[in-house]
Amino acid sequence: MRAALRSELLDRLYGRDDPAWDEWVAGLSAAERDELESLLDVYLRELDGRDADALAGLGRALGVHERARREIANGGYWDRTHALVWLALLRDAPDRDLLRTHCTETPRERAAAARILYAAETDDCATTGVDLLLRDEPESFSVFGVDTLYRVAERDPSPFFERAAADFARWPPALQRQALLVVRHLTTVVGDADLSWVVGSLSSPDPSVRSAAWRALGAYGWNRAVRDTVDLAAIAADPTPPVRASAYRALGTWGDAEAIAAIEAAGTADPDARARVTAAETLVSQRTSAEAVDPNDPPRADLGAGRTASANGRSVDETAAFDIAWAWAVEHARFDRLARDISRDRDRLHDEVRG
């Protein structure tokens, strides 16, 4: 039965100007309709464009659109979830009040509801989508939810940034980290959006949020207005080594003289071994591939008075500790380049043999 239905579906989809879905469906048994609906689910996930638009007509003929709306209004959690998935596949956005009333109880439902608007390419995708995802007291999302938040915000970042500027401080840390992840990947479309809340999150009491903020800001080295509000001198004062390491990586992404000087000032004297290695790796990565990096000549920063004088004002212990991190980073970079060279040579030899 399934093979016959598939053959007929494809013939009507590709072999006729008018697929006449209503006429076909009207002559099918209940079992055949169920099987055809299963096939429709498969093809809607594989096809797009005009083919998907045509298949949406089959969904209407099968009554999927109206049944999904009834299940959202009257069904339980799993009924609603199943209905939301169908409407997203069919690119059929229902009345927004229906979504607001029945689909904001859980993060999964919020994301599925917003995904319908994205799939249907509605004019209010960003405004209503962000509202569905982040209204009232939102919780953290699954990977699908974060991806949905990114996609609706990419359409128009203003609603997302406005909501975050107003509510970010009230969100749980897990959701704050996810919002910062979205900011990190929206870098090319933010325009003149308010990023003060991103900079403000560098002072969050939660170290994981501070790290996420640095990772987000790493993508905004081009934005002088944002950079001017970041206190680079405060990096060394952060009590959490992973946060300082995230700051070094972000500054390495910025990559200009000011950022490199800030890494040298804090990273070369960092009391944590892992953070020192991150600083050293970041500084080594700034050297050009053609430039030989001397493992015995790490950068030196004047750390001020109050310490036992040694090389350029650094204590003996600090100097030795960073020298070790620097040598390790240089050696690691050398082996990385060697491995890449070997891979290129292998590919070249492989091409020559095959040629």
Least Cα distance to 8 among 44, 32, 34 occurs for 32
What is the arithmetic mean of pLDDT over 309-315?
47
Q: pLDDT tens across 151-162, in order? A: 999 999 999 999
Distance from C-alpha of 249 to C-alpha of 243, rounded to nearest angstrom: 10
Do 126 and 159 meet the contact criterion of CB atoms below 8 Å apart? yes
295-334 burial code (b ≥16 CB/10 A, e <16): beebbebebeeeeeeeeebbbeebbebbbebbebbbeebe
- Give the helix ranges, DSSP H, for the chain: 2-14, 21-26, 30-46, 49-62, 64-74, 77-90, 96-102, 107-120, 125-134, 143-155, 157-167, 173-185, 196-200, 207-217, 224-227, 241-254, 257-267, 273-285, 316-354
Percent of the chain with pLDDT over 70: 88
Contact 39, 62 (CB under 8 A): no
| Residue that wins the pLDDT comparison between 34 and 286 | 34
Integer Cα distance of 278 and 247 in angstroms: 10
For the beta carbon of residue 237, count every other beta carbon within 10 angstroms.
9
The answer to whether 262 and 235 are in contact (CB under 8 A) is yes
pLDDT one-digit tens code per residue, 81-121: 999 999 999 999 999 999 999 999 999 999 999 999 999 99
DSSP string covering 52-69: HHHHHHHHHHHTHHHHHH
Residue 295 banded pLDDT, cuts 50, 70, 90? low
Least confident of 81-95, 192-206, 320-334: 320-334
299: left (phi over 0), alpha (psi -120 to 50) or beta: beta
Domain residue limits, the chain: 98-189, 203-291
Structure tokens at 275: 């953070």
- Residues in contact with 262: Cβ distance below 8 Å, sequence separation at least 6, in sequence order: 232, 233, 235, 251
Average pLDDT over residues 25-42: 95
Confidence of residue 191 (pLDDT cuts 50, 70, 90): confident
Residues 6+ apart with CB under 8 A from 159: 126, 127, 129, 130, 131, 153
> Look-up: residue for tokens 């910062």?
180
Q: Which two tokens stand for residue 78?
A: 């799993």
Q: For the whole model, what pTM was predicted? A: 0.85
